[in-house]
Amino acid sequence: MKKIFYLTLFLTLLFSNYSIGQFYKDVKGVKKYEAKMDKIDSYLKLDPFSAYQLIDDLEQLSDKEDNNELKVVCDIFRGTYYYYISQNDSSLIFFERAIHFADSIESPQLKSAASIRQLFVIDEGVESSLMFDLMKEEYSIALENRDTINMISSLNGLGAYAADLDSTERSFHYYLRAIELAKESKNEFERGSLLNNLALLKLRLDSPEEALKDLKEGLEIAQKIKNLRLELFFIDNFGYYYSVVDSVELAKKQYDYALKVAKEKNFPLIELLAMINLSSLESRLGNEKKSDSLIVFSLEIAKNKGIKHFISYIYLEQVNHLIDEGKYNNANQLLDSVVAYSKYGPRGDIMLNYYSLKSELFKKKGDYKTAMDYYGRMNDLSDSLDKKTHMQIMTQIQLKYDVEKKEIQRVKEKLSFENKLRQKEENEAKIRQWFIVVIFSFLLIISLVLVLYFRSKNKQEAKFSTAIINQLETERERIAKDLHDGIGQNLIIIKNKFNNLKLEESLALDELNENLSSTLEDVRSISRSLIPPELKRLGLHKSIDKMLSEVAKSTGMLVTSDLELLDQMKLEKSHEIRIYRIIQELLTNTIKHSKATSLKVEFLKSNSGYSIVYQDNGVGINEELIQESNSIGLRSIRSRLKMLNGTIKFEKQETGLKAVIRIKNK
């Protein structure tokens, strides 16, 4: 029973101590791989062999993307994998590589994670006081770096080593500090694992009632975060608690439940642990046959699931039972199997148990000489292992010293290199800045030249257009004056003279007089259309009003207007003529083409100038004509508006025409 108890404790502590801390959390450069890393972490704690391929895949990804942080994470995972299957030599290789690589890429969090795990690997057979000091150093580093997850992990280790040193008070202190830190940082999985460790410590110290509180709280956390692995460990430890307080049936119930769920969810390691615990319980009840049967089943699970690192321990337990039953030959044969499978586990620890059982076996058989020989081998191996582990520690300390010694030189070289690199970057930056300034200046000059060119061109075009229109208006004024003062006056004189003649044919006289009056009116009409005489005399308001009245009188259309704004505006004469001509052009279009019966003209004030709204209820204007803008009338309007700094927009109407002219103040 004693052997089974130690095997159970070994399995429990393996997972409860070492599973603390998802070390990759908050590591710069690996966050996007977090889901993959969480999966590996989960598999390592449940079924390490299933994690092997996942680690391989992640390593290939790290090589493909040349991600140095991810490479270190993979080394730590690989080291953890070999630790879980008890191949400590391989585990150490990967942890040491992770430490040096993390140091080279300046990742203190990953370096601490690898260093703490390395200490868990080399702690077997090493004095707890030395391990305590080394772990305390790792805690100081994590504390200095404010590395919460590694602070929790190292505090967990300090709690375990302090317990080994029989320093219960210090052990409680470290566990409680770690639990508090995990709670503050919301690392619930780590808090649950720590409560599990604290409960085991209290059970070891024969404080079951206190342990029960921690187990209950931890189980609640496991259920809350939906971590079945952690939940099953608590259930298994509840079984251990009930076995301590002699509630055998309750203990069996907990173990049976853990075994059932582990089988359903394919968690072979937990299944193995639950079965061994049941074997321990049956042995305690004196049911040796049933206990042996469970051990045989656990051996089958270990072999079938490839959990070879526990097979030697199970064989050792079977040998222990065979010796107690006096089956010495069977026990001796089974010990050969222990040696065969020792390569998959911590060989030193297994061989110590092997020599111890060999010595016990031959002592029982009465062969004291051979028994003494194996006892001597056990002592020699113990000394050798102790020396080896001490050499490992010394090598580690020497390595740290060498690293620190070289660190100063490395820092100097790094600073020198960084200074040269910085100087080079500054020079390159200056060249780039100079080049950018030259290019920008060149583009600015070209842009300025183009702007000035097009501005000058537009000014010349505007000046030319203005000159043409002004010349046109001048010419119109001259022609109108000639018509009025020349031809018009002559026609009046002819008419007056004609009226003074005394002719007999009165009918012919009336017809001829009517023709002269009509011709005179045509001359006056042409003169007014060329240049409205009232524009200079009466102003724009009255001129447009008079023009609208004549349209209403001559066409019979209903004409309305709102021209009050014109009285408040002070416009240049050239602008007045252009506005007059625009209204005149719109009126001409309405009279000739629209078939309208009413129209309206409004002058409205706007924020940036003023607007002219022209509407009629005619047939409207063809949209294609508006888009093509080839109409002489439209071109005339747009040409005049360009000189007025204005635009025209024809708004879509169900019937009629609506033109909105916007003119900005210059």
pLDDT per residue over 4-47, tens digit each? 444 444 444 444 444 455 788 878 888 888 889 988 887 776 66
Amino acid type, 607 = N
At 567, phi and psi to the nearest 5? -70, -25
The predicted structure's pLDDT at residue 87: 72
- Residue 543 belongs to what domain range? 538-664
Cα separations in angstroms, 223 against 180, 260, 388 = 19, 18, 43
pLDDT on residue 666:
67
Spatial neighbors of 492 by CB under 8 A, at least 6 apart, are 520
Tell me if 438 is assigned to some domain. Answer: yes
Residue that has been written with the tokens 């993307």 in this structure: 65
Please report which confidence band the pLDDT of residue 283 belongs to, taking 50, 70 and 90 as the band edges. confident
Question: Given strand 609-616, what is the order of strands in its sheet?
Answer: 558-562, 598-605, 609-616, 657-664, 646-651
- Over 322-341, what HEC string results? HHHCCCHHHHHHHHHHHHHH
Query: According to the model, what pLDDT value does residue 98 have?
Result: 92
Residue whose tokens read 């002699």: 246
Confidence of residue 397 (pLDDT cuts 50, 70, 90): very low
* Angle at alpha carbon of residue 539, lines to 538 and 543, rounded to 5°: 80
Write down the pLDDT at residue 312.
81
Stretch 639-655: mean pLDDT, rounded? 85
CATH of the domain at 654: 3.30.565.10
- pLDDT band, residue 353 (cuts 50/70/90): confident
Res. 74 pLDDT band, cuts 50 70 90: very high
**What is the per-residue pLDDT across 292-320, written as a single tens digit (0 to 9) for each?**
888 888 888 888 877 777 788 788 878 88
Question: In this structure, what CATH number is given to the domain that contains residue 340?
Answer: 1.25.40
pTM of the model: 0.52
Strands 598-605 and 558-562: parallel
Whether residue 388 is predicted with pLDDT greater than 60 in this model: the reply is: no
> In whole angstroms, what is the distance from residue 501 CA to residue 498 CA?
5
Mean pLDDT of 327-351: 80
660/549 same-domain check: yes
Same domain, 546 and 613: yes
Average pLDDT, the chain: 79
List, for residues 434-463, the tens digit of each pLDDT value: 888 888 888 888 888 888 877 776 666 556
Q: What is the DSSP string of 94-142?
A: HHHHHHHHHHHTT-HHHHHHHHHHHHHHTTTTS-HHHHHHHHHHHHHHH
3-state secondary structure of 377: helix
Residue 546's contacts (CB-CB under 8 Å, 6 or more residues apart) are 532, 534, 538
* Average pLDDT value for residue range 1-5: 42
560 in a structural domain: yes
- Count structural domains, the chain: 4
Confirm whether 629 is domain-assigned.
Answer: yes
Q: Is the pLDDT of residue 211 over 70?
A: yes
> Buried (b) or exposed (e) across 174-186, using 16+ Cβ within 10 A?
bbebbbebbeeee
Average pLDDT of the segment spanning 125-139: 81
| Final residue belonging to a domain, choices 372, 389, 406 | 389
Q: What is the pLDDT of residues 496-520, one digit of tens each?
A: 666 666 555 555 566 666 666 666 6
If asked whether residues 545 and 623 sit together in one domain, one would say yes
- Report the C-alpha gap between 540 and 532 in whole angstroms: 10
Angle between helices 328-341 and 347-365 (to 10 degrees): 170
Q: Are 656 and 616 in contact (CB under 8 A)?
A: yes
Range in 168-177, 430-439, 577-586 with the lowest mean pLDDT: 430-439
* Closest to 267 (Cα-Cα) out of 236, 221, 312, 225: 236
Domain annotation covers residue 476: yes
What would the DSSP string read from start to end of 292-328?
A: HHHHHHHHHHHHHTT-GGGHHHHHHHHHHHHHHTT-H
Which residue type does 223 have? Q
Cβ count near 604 (within 10 Å): 12
Statement to judge: residues 606 and 656 lie in one domain: yes
Are 550 and 610 within one domain? yes
- Give the least confident one: 155-164, 175-184, 377-386, 486-495: 486-495
Mean pLDDT of 362-376: 86
Indicate if 343 and 385 belong to the same structural domain: yes
Mean pLDDT of the 160-185 span: 86
- Region 112-124: mean pLDDT is 81
Tokens (6 digits) for 167: 């320093």
Share of the chain above pLDDT 70, in %: 76
Task: Please name the residue ranges forming H helices in 482-505.
Answer: 489-500
In terms of domains, do 480 and 549 share one?
no
Task: Name the more confident of 325 and 384.
Answer: 325
Look at the chain and count its residues. 666
- In this structure, what token pair is assigned to residue 638? 């747009």
Q: Which two tokens stand for residue 126?
A: 């090493």
Q: Would you state the pLDDT for residue 343?
A: 73
Is 72 part of any domain?
yes
Please state, in angstroms and rounded to a whole number, the distance separating the CA atoms of residues 304 and 294.
15
Q: How far apart are CA 174 and CA 154, in angstroms?
A: 9
Is the pLDDT higher at 472 or at 541? Answer: 541
Beta partners for residue 599, in sequence order: 559, 616
Whether residue 577 contacts residue 540, with contact meaning beta carbons closer than 8 Å, is answered with no
When pLDDT is averaged across residues 68-96 and rounded to a whole number, the result is 86
Pick the closest to residue 299 from 316, 320, 283, 282 (CA basis).
316
* 416: pLDDT strictly greater than 80: no
Residue 253: pLDDT over 90:
yes
* Token pair of 31 as six digits: 């966050």
Q: What is the mean pLDDT of residues 199-225?
A: 89
Residues 546 and 472 in one domain: no
Q: What is the H or E stretch that residue 610 is in?
A: strand 609-616
Q: Parallel, antiparallel, or unpaired for β 598-605 and 646-651?
A: unpaired
Under the banding of pLDDT at 50, 70 and 90, the label for residue 180 is very high
Task: Answer whether residue 520 is part of any domain.
Answer: no
Give the pLDDT of residue 467.
57
- Provide the pLDDT confidence category of residue 378 given band limits of 50, 70 and 90: confident
Among the residue ranges 153-162, 299-308, 403-412, the one predicted with the least confidence is: 403-412
At 534, list the tokens: 């009232």
Same domain, 464 and 572: no
Q: Which of 609, 616, 622, 619 is nearest to 659 (CA)?
A: 616
Highest mean pLDDT of the ranges 276-285, 471-480, 528-537: 276-285
Domain end, chosen from 68, 84, 106, is at: 106
- Would the pLDDT of 597 be above 60? yes
Burial (CB count within 10 angstroms: exposed 0-12, middle 13-18, buried 19+), residue 365: middle
Distance CA 647, CA 622 (A): 19
425 in the same domain as 326: no
pLDDT score, position 238: 92
Percent of the chain with pLDDT over 90: 16
654 within some domain: yes
More confident residue, 40 or 403: 40
In this predicted model, what pLDDT tens digit does every residue of 214-241 receive, in sequence order?
A: 999 999 998 998 888 788 889 988 988 8
Structure tokens at 604: 């409205």
Residue 376 sits in the same domain as residue 428: no
40-71: buried (b, 16+ CB within 10 Å) or exposed (e) per residue?
Answer: bbbbbbbbbbbbbebbeebbeebeeeebbbbb
Same domain, 443 and 548: no
601 phi and psi angles, rounded to 5 deg? -125, 130
Top mean pLDDT of 38-47, 340-349, 570-579 is at 570-579
Q: Is the pLDDT of residue 491 over 90?
A: no
Average pLDDT for 47-71 = 88
- Residue 507 inside a domain? The answer is no
> Which residue in 140, 143, 218 sits closest to 183, CA to CA?
218
The residue among 463, 491, 519 that closes a domain is: 491
Mean pLDDT of 542-569: 90
